[in-house]
Amino acid sequence: MDSDAEVDEASYWERWGAAEDGARIVATRGQKYTLIFSVMASVILLYLRPQSVLTVWIAIITATYLVTGVYKIWLLVRGERTNTDAIANARSVADDDLPVFTVLVPLHREGRILPILVERLKSIDYPPDRLQILLLIEMDDEETQAAAKKCLLPSHISPMIMPPGQPRTKPRALNVGLHAARGEYIVIYDAEDRPEHDQLRKAVAAFRSLPYDVVCVQGRLNFYNRHQSLLTRLFAVDYAVWYDQLLPGLAFSERRRSGAFIPLGGTSNHFRVETLRQVGGWDPFNVTEDCDLGARLGRAGLRVAMLDSTTWEEAVPHIRPWIRQRSRWIKGYLQTYLVHMRYPLRLLQQLGLRGFIDFQMLVGASCLVVLLNPLMWALTTVYILGRGTPIDSFIQTLFPAPLYYSALLSFVMGNFIFYYCSAYVCVRHDHISLTRYALLTPIYWVFMSFGAWAGLISLIRNPFYWAKTEHGVSLPHSEGSVALAGVTQAV
């Protein structure tokens, strides 16, 4: 295994280490020069013509808000048309016809949750002789290795120790796992995931019913500890909006054409192994390797569909780790944006206009909006509080009539629609206990902006740092050890 892994390591290093389409190079020289030139030009113009430059900036920001808002509303409406592309009957494929399925579970310091994870993996409804489950454990992760040794693992679940090397990230471990996979299909689960028992069967049925260029089916994600804290409730509302409404809308609008872009979720994405290998697996330097992979699949003319099955995850219940997690996501999105925008015309050619717009809106503009939100909130607050003062007059001069009304429309209607949409999705998709918490969504937006700024700073200071999310925090402290005791007794 070790020698295989080393071979794999070497080949992927060759693939990703110097890749122009990889995140190891955060920004190319051209991108850096463009950025520096833009900043310098803005500063000089700001000095020479401050009011005009500020007005132009505000116009650009307003246009970004308006276009992003209209785009997301369009997606929400499209989401009404369908929930899932691949509504598959789990029993439509006979047991004898089921192919070998590989499940990759990357683990890092997950000793506490491992026994529960093993139990969940054992409960997957799929013939064990056609199931290969690989627990991907880092070499220096003694805690997880020790926990794995204590568990009674059935023959189809095996730990796999990662070879030494850098970067020690989840996508690198997945690439090693992909190399060792012997299944026709492969799926990624996180340590805390609780997929619906028949999800693999549904995935197989979906793949069999969909065209061959659909190389990935994405399951819905939601949280089993959604009622643990206010934050988990708001997080669950956010996930419901994304996975129940926006993503199906995106998948629906893209399903009739190749070369579409869909940002994949971190887990529960099922792939055809052969195609995944052909596109090079995951970028080990990208901290949101899932989003990047979605873009690369689109650029290769391949498609993604939604799977009518939910995987229950653990939501981060406390604010600090939540912001860390969010900062990683935003950092990864920014990495992905910089990677794929190195040659914008090539991206446009490969994704087509619609896919290109999807990419700009979902990756570029979404990050920009959450980064800009605090600035615009501050500007609005100063404007309201400073009524009748010179500040008020100055702000008014920055907003000529068309800009003023566009900004007003964007501010009032945009915020209201997204605010309302949170409540709507809760009722529409049967999360009715969360509806009242949807009223607090604006608080969540503030947290998101904190996370976004933390992500931007992290991208500048430490681009490959993986801010790991601690799992198992929703469990009572004793639950992990009780589960562990149960598993070891069985030994």
Partner 1 sequence: MKRWRYTLGTERDHIAPGSAKRAGVGALELSRAWETLGHWRVRLIVAWGTILWSSRVYLASVIGVSHPIIYIRQAALPGPLGDLLRWLRNHATDVWWVAMLAVALSISSFAWYDAHGYTVAFNDARIRAMISRRVVASNTPGLAQLGVTWLPLEFILELPVIWNDTLFRNGIAASFPSMLAFALAAVYLYRTALFLTASRSAGWVAATVLFLNPSLLYMQSTAMSETGSVCALVVSTYYALRLAQTYSAVDIVKCATAVAAGTLIRYENWALAIVFVPVIVYVAWRHKGYALAEAWAILYSFLAFAGCIAWMIYNGVIFHDPFLSFFYGNSNHTYYAGATAAELPARHNVWVAFETYGYTVAQTVGWVILVTGFLGLLAFILRMRLRSATLSAYLLLVPFAFYWLVLYLGVNTENLPELGTGRYYNIRFGLMMIPASALFTAFFVPSLAPIKQLKLKRLLAPGALMVIALISIIGSTVQTPFVLSEALYGAGSEGRLVGQEQAQWLSAHYRGGDVLITYVNDPSMMFFLLTEYDFSDRALITDANGWQFDRALAHPETTVTWIIMDSDATNGASRIWLDLTNRQDWRNFFVLRKTIGTTQMYEYVGAQGTGGVSSRPAMAIPGQRRMSALLAHDFRVFNICSK
By the criterion CB under 8 A, which residues form the site for partner 1?
80, 396-397, 400-401, 404-405, 408, 412, 416, 420, 423-424, 426-428, 432-433, 435-436, 438-439
Q: Are 488 and 150 in contact (CB under 8 A)?
A: yes
Residue closer to partner 1 by CB (options 212, 416) is: 416
Burial of 92 (0-12, 13-18, 19+ CB in 10 A): middle
Burial of 306 (0-12, 13-18, 19+ CB in 10 A): buried
Residue closer to partner 1 by CB (options 69, 281) is: 69
Closest CA to 65 of 409, 463, 437: 409
353-366 per-residue burial string, b: 16 or more CB within 10 A, e: under 16: eebbbbbbbbbbbb
Residue closer to partner 1 by CB (options 337, 399) is: 399
Contacts of 253 (CB under 8 A, 6+ apart): 75, 78, 354
Question: What is the smallest separation between the CB atom of 1 and partner 1, expressed in angstroms?
Answer: 51
CA distance 231 to 317: 6
Strands (E), 40-130: 101-107
CA distance 116 to 122: 10
Question: What is the smallest separation between the CB atom of 54 and partner 1, expressed in angstroms?
Answer: 15
Question: What is the smallest separation between the CB atom of 372 and partner 1, expressed in angstroms?
Answer: 23
Residue closer to partner 1 by CB (options 41, 432) is: 432
Residue closer to partner 1 by CB (options 32, 81) is: 81
Question: What is the smallest separation between the CB atom of 430 and partner 1, expressed in angstroms?
Answer: 9
Question: What is the smallest separation between the CB atom of 428 and partner 1, expressed in angstroms?
Answer: 4
Which DSSP category does 154 fall into?
-
In the chain, % helix, strand, coil (3-state, to 5) comes to 60, 10, 30
Question: What is the smallest separation between the CB atom of 375 and partner 1, expressed in angstroms?
Answer: 22
Contacts of 479 (CB under 8 A, 6+ apart): 116
Question: What is the smallest separation between the CB atom of 362 and partner 1, expressed in angstroms?
Answer: 24
Find residue 216's DSSP bridge partners.
271, 304
Question: What is the smallest separation between the CB atom of 421 and partner 1, expressed in angstroms?
Answer: 10
Strands (E), 139-226: 157-161, 185-188, 194-195, 214-223
Residue closer to partner 1 by CB (options 328, 429) is: 429
Question: What is the smallest separation between the CB atom of 60 and partner 1, expressed in angstroms?
Answer: 18
Find residue 103's DSSP bridge partners.
133, 187
Residue closer to partner 1 by CB (options 94, 401) is: 401
Question: What is the smallest separation between the CB atom of 52 and partner 1, expressed in angstroms?
Answer: 13
Q: How many helices (H) and strands (E) does the chain have?
A: 20, 8
| Torsion-angle region of 475 (φ positive above 0: left; ψ -120 to 50: alpha; else: beta) | beta
Residue closer to partner 1 by CB (options 166, 393) is: 393
Question: What is the smallest separation between the CB atom of 374 and partner 1, expressed in angstroms?
Answer: 22
Residue closer to partner 1 by CB (options 233, 326) is: 233
Q: Are 254 and 260 in contact (CB under 8 A)?
A: yes
CA distance 73 to 409: 14
Residue closer to partner 1 by CB (options 256, 387) is: 387
Strands (E), 155-205: 157-161, 185-188, 194-195
What SS3 class is residue 194? strand
Question: What is the smallest separation between the CB atom of 59 and partner 1, expressed in angstroms?
Answer: 13
CA distance 343 to 405: 35
Residue closer to partner 1 by CB (options 29, 387) is: 387
Residue closer to partner 1 by CB (options 80, 95) is: 80
Cα dist. 351→75, 126, 293, 307, 319 in Å?
18, 36, 13, 23, 37
Which DSSP category does 468 fall into?
P
